[in-house]
Homo-oligomer: A and B are copies of this chain.
Amino acid sequence: VDVRTFCLGLLTRGDATGYEIRKQFEDGGYRHFADASFGSIYPALGRLTEDGLVSVREEPQEKRPDRKVYSITPAGRSCLVGALLKPVQEDRHRSPFAFAMLFSHLLPEARVRAMLDAAISEKETTLALLNERAGAIGTWGERFVNGLGRTVAEATLDYLKSQRCELEGASREAAE
C-alpha cells in the first residue's frame, strides 16, 4: 500500500496534519502492517493537494511552524475507493528473524536463543498494544483488522514459546 493511499485512508477518519498522520502510522495500531516516514508523507500530501484529492487549511501558530491541516475531498474519496477496488496484491511478510533462523545452524546457540527471546517479547508488545486498542474501536473493519492482528500474534507467540522450550530441552540433553 503506497503512502498516498494510506494518507487518503487516514484522512477519511478526520482531518489531520502530516505530523499526526505519521503518529497514526507508528502507534495507531497498524504499525505491524504499514509504516512511513516524514520524508515520504510530506511529499505525498503535497502531491495529493496538487491533484485535488485533499485540501489544506493553514492554522497559524506562534513560535512554531504553522499547522497544515489536511482534509480529504470528494475526489480523494473516490480515488481511495478506486484504489480499494483494484485487485489486491498478495500479502508480504518480511521477516529478518525468520531468515536468520533459517541459518541458525551457522550461529552460536546462545545467539539463537537470544533471537527467539527477542522475537517473543516483540510479539508480546504488539499483542499488548493490540489488546489495548481493542476497546476503543469503531467500525467493523477496524475490529476485523485488530482481531486478525491479535490472532496472528497469539498463534506466533504460542509457537515461538513452544520452540524455545524444545531448544532448551535439546541443549540440556546435549550437555548431559
- State the A residues within 8 Å of B (CB): 1, 5-6, 9, 12, 30, 32-35, 77, 80-81, 84-85, 88-107, 111, 115, 118, 122, 139-142, 144-145, 147-149, 151-152, 154-156, 158-160, 163
Contacts and interface: CB of A to CB of B under 8 A. Distances in A.
The 8 nearest A-B residue pairs measured at CB = A155-B155, A104-B141, A151-B159, A33-B95, A91-B95, A1-B99, A33-B93, A88-B96
A126 to B, nearest CB: 9
A99 B151 contact: no
A12 B104 CA distance: 12
Chain A, interface SS category: helix
Nearest to A163: B144
A145 B101 contact: yes
B145 A98 contact: yes
A20 to B, nearest CB: 17
A73 to B, nearest CB: 15
11 contacts: A32-B92, A33-B93, A84-B103, A84-B107, A92-B95, A93-B93, A93-B94, A101-B145, A102-B139, A148-B160, A155-B155
A8 to B, nearest CB: 9
Contacts of A144: 101, 104, 163
A140 B105 contact: yes
Nearest to A108: B85
B107 A81 contact: yes
A9 B103 contact: yes
